[in-house]
Chains A and B, each alone.
Chain A
């Protein structure tokens, strides 16, 4: 049984940006695992431990030294090493000396690939101690980390995420000595910033297992999960004191657990006068400026006049932290209320002309131009979907106007939402307000869609304009490059049509979008249309994935037509029921055979059933009529499933390309009609097991 020990490494830095902390820490730990394997120091289990000023990991199960290795060294041929009287030559002695063995220990054998016997020395290479290896290599491992937004500090040219101020590195109870940018490693570290204001002596960590406990004494909760849990529990408890619950925000929770060493949730209240502000304004203002949570009523989404902020210390002995947070929040809300009141002094229709000076895109013009295009598209769509085209026009013309309001200037994420509020306050028709408020939705693949029909139309029109415009000027997403988030816009369009069942085909949309942007088009319209169509087809394919359509169905369903998403949806749903059906696997085989047979042929559209001779082909022809006249996919698919066996029988018994030209033509026409009938539902030749 070999000895193993645990290694703890901590880089104590100035505050590391929250967004880099976790990935960097994990990369560091992973890099060490690979390193340990390369160095044959065992297969340690590594745990990344990170807090705002500390990148650390602990690796358990490391060997204390590499094992000794036997190596065989091959030297010059015997005739060179030994003279005629059998004594060692100078070369012979030198070889023995070089490898530290006595000449008498040198053997002579013919190594593989050599023609004559050569000098062979067996040497024992002692394994290096782990501490020695770590001392040598950890600095390289640290400087080899991939640091995003690296910085320099002081006089040094060393680069890291933030200045490294101390290094803790212990292997069992031994310090692993090394230096990084002039900072020497040791068995000490520092605790909470404020705790150590008046303490000159660092914390001693003399064994890797004690790390968390020592830090806890020093005012730092080392574990991210523990900090996050502590925040979540305290949030719930403090909200409960007010009779409410915290407005959930997982992202904010994560951020906070990454920027505090020891969290304490503090409750504050804000004056009732601010409760007139829209909920989104309060929540956003608290989140963006104060990293604080709002509190909502237990049974509704209404807010209570409290907030929960997180302090980076274990207590608030004199209540000054809570009081300070309340004071700052009031200042922030005062600002928000000022914006809200100022913005209401003008109607959005008075602000809309300012959009002339706001560039949407260098080549696609201002937001005013964009709004006009959205209007054209939205009116066409509204007419198609039998919605009020005049309301669509109004909503489209005003939907971007909130971009020049003070509130959206301060909180860009409130775009659309503020427009909805401002219009409502001026008494605009509710469908218009809702449409403006919802038109940026969905914000992601799992975010909510516009609730209202007009909102859906406006959302599609806005995204379509962006897509058509960008494609028309050649800004097409490729690989990981999609700076304008066009794929997200495309998914938005697809999801809205798919989930809302809107009766618009993608083809119509593409034509409408490109026609509206025509004057800005740079690339040949045909190419643009082709690129945009391919783009939407990819989105449709992804939509099938998102909707959990079985993999066997997806490609075959898409290949039978996808521009009408509602039809695609109906087919996919019907086909999904047969996803595991063996009969469809057989049908797929037959479909491939039909494809091969009809390849390069021009089969007739009709045939006389009387020409058919064999019972297997007559059986098929009898079924053809019912299949061709099936009312819907629910009726069609069972018929196709039942066709699997007869088709198999047909191919087993019938030779399609026979000598008799009439019979042959009739058989090909029969297969052609069957293929057409299949294609109503899917291209079964692409069906997958």
Chain B
């Protein structure tokens, strides 16, 4: 049988796993089955991923301080994936999906979740192994788990970007998105970047066997008086409630419609008149989020949708074009 070489190893690990199972049950009184049997805190997961990728030659980036729907929209990825310059970066990105808001009441869906995003350009030959190693670095024992790469291609019409790849499935749970970028802003990616996206909350819940995202432990606060575990809910639930209420009930639709147009105008002024691609790109990001707010309210009909998305894409593509021209100038000056 195939996994025989590790049989002796497995026995030892089984024992460790079992002890961990028992421990977790005692510590957090978790009612359900504990899947991976790890007691993983949110901040620990982030730190481990940052360390892991930093050690493998990635810059540790920071979230970009404008609302966005996915980590891909961070300029570190959008512009990083363009052009020929080698580029490795990993960072956490809070991703806002107004339509997914559940007032902090749904244990699995939230308005804002955390993604850990890695870009490797060009994609290394051993990128899949590097990814699996990262799971081991998180404490997932690959001799005891099931891992599948199932076809899942990615497309972002607002960024004019698409790629092919997989969703990575661990014991039946989709834990990551794995994409080879083929195009960004309508232009071919040469070289091709690999993008790995980890869903922080999901992975953390899965690894610690906790059924409600808000019960996750973010970390421990240590004071002179002792150790205070702080839950994900304590950090974020109120935010979820207010932001869900905002996107579904209180957002001023006329204001958002106005803002969408205003950001667009501002963006074109910046990129068109001044050739400033980054400040213009910020306007595109704002347009995208404004659109998402309108969409969550059902204020965008299915017929209007493609046209609105195209307006965001056009601006983003214009920014990319200026960026690539400047990069080309730089290269020729250096040469």
Residues of A within 8 A of B (CB): 14-15, 17-19, 149, 151-155, 157, 162-163, 165, 191-195, 197-199, 216-220, 259-260, 262, 290, 292, 309, 311-318, 320-321, 323-331, 334-335, 338, 354, 357-359, 362
User: Are B192 and A324 closer than 8 Å at their CB atoms?
Assistant: no
Interface-facing stretch out of B3-11, B251-259, B276-284: B3-11
Output the least CB separation between A409 and chain B (Å).
10
User: Are B147 and A194 closer than 8 Å at their CB atoms?
Assistant: yes
User: Are A317 and B35 closer than 8 Å at their CB atoms?
Assistant: no
Q: Nearest CB to that of A357 among chain B residues?
A: B301
What are the interface flags for B241-258 relative to A under an 8 Å C-beta threshold, 1 for contact and 0 otherwise? 000000000000000000
What are the interface flags for B128-160 relative to A under an 8 Å C-beta threshold, 1 for contact and 0 otherwise? 100010000000001111111111010000000
Given contacts A17-B151, A318-B17, A321-B146, contact A154 B32 (CB under 8 A): no
User: Are B147 and A312 closer than 8 Å at their CB atoms?
Assistant: yes
Output the least CB separation between B11 and chain A (Å).
9
Given contacts A313-B146, A327-B35, contact A292 B172 (CB under 8 A): yes
User: Are B192 and A152 closer than 8 Å at their CB atoms?
Assistant: yes
- Name the one of B151, B209, B211 contacting A18, with C-beta atoms under 8 angstroms: B151
Residues of B within 8 A of A (CB): 1-3, 5-6, 10, 13-14, 17-18, 32-37, 106-109, 122-125, 128, 132, 142-151, 153, 163-164, 166, 170-173, 180, 182, 189-192, 194, 206, 209, 211, 298, 301-303
Q: How far is the CA of A252 from the CA of B274 in the complex (A)?
A: 55
Output the least CB separation between B113 and chain A (Å).
14
- A residues in contact with B170, CB < 8 Å: 324
User: Are A199 and B5 closer than 8 Å at their CB atoms?
Assistant: yes
- Name the one of B5, B122, B146, B182 contacting A155, with C-beta atoms under 8 angstroms: B122
User: Are B298 and A354 closer than 8 Å at their CB atoms?
Assistant: yes
Given contacts A15-B149, A312-B147, A338-B106, contact A154 B122 (CB under 8 A): yes
Q: Given contacts A151-B182, A328-B206, list 13 more A-B pairs with CB under 8 A.
A: A15-B151, A152-B189, A155-B192, A163-B180, A193-B147, A195-B2, A219-B1, A311-B146, A313-B3, A318-B14, A323-B35, A327-B171, A327-B206
Question: What 8 A-B pairs are tightest by C-beta distance, nearest first?
Answer: A219-B2, A324-B171, A17-B151, A325-B172, A15-B149, A311-B146, A324-B35, A359-B302
Given contacts A154-B123, A155-B122, contact A317 B143 (CB under 8 A): yes
Q: Nearest CB to that of B164 among chain A residues?
A: A151
Q: How far is the CA of A316 from the CA of B35 in the complex (A)?
A: 13
Q: How far is the CA of A354 from the CA of B298 in the complex (A)?
A: 9
User: Are B13 and A154 closer than 8 Å at their CB atoms?
Assistant: no
Given contacts A17-B151, A18-B151, A359-B301, contact A320 B125 (CB under 8 A): no
Q: How far is the CA of A149 from the CA of B155 in the complex (A)?
A: 13
- A residues in contact with B192, CB < 8 Å: 151-155
Output the least CB separation between B259 and chain A (Å).
21
Most A CB contacts (10 A, CB to CB) among B33, B146, B301 go to: B146
Output the least CB separation between A50 and chain B (Å).
15
- B residues in contact with A334, CB < 8 Å: 107-108
Supply 20 A–B pairs (Cβ within 8 Å), ascending by A. Answer: A17-B151, A149-B164, A151-B192, A152-B180, A153-B180, A155-B191, A165-B125, A195-B5, A217-B2, A313-B3, A316-B144, A318-B18, A321-B144, A324-B145, A324-B172, A327-B35, A330-B211, A357-B301, A358-B302, A359-B302
Q: How far is the CA of A100 from the CA of B108 in the complex (A)?
A: 80
- A residues in contact with B6, CB < 8 Å: 198
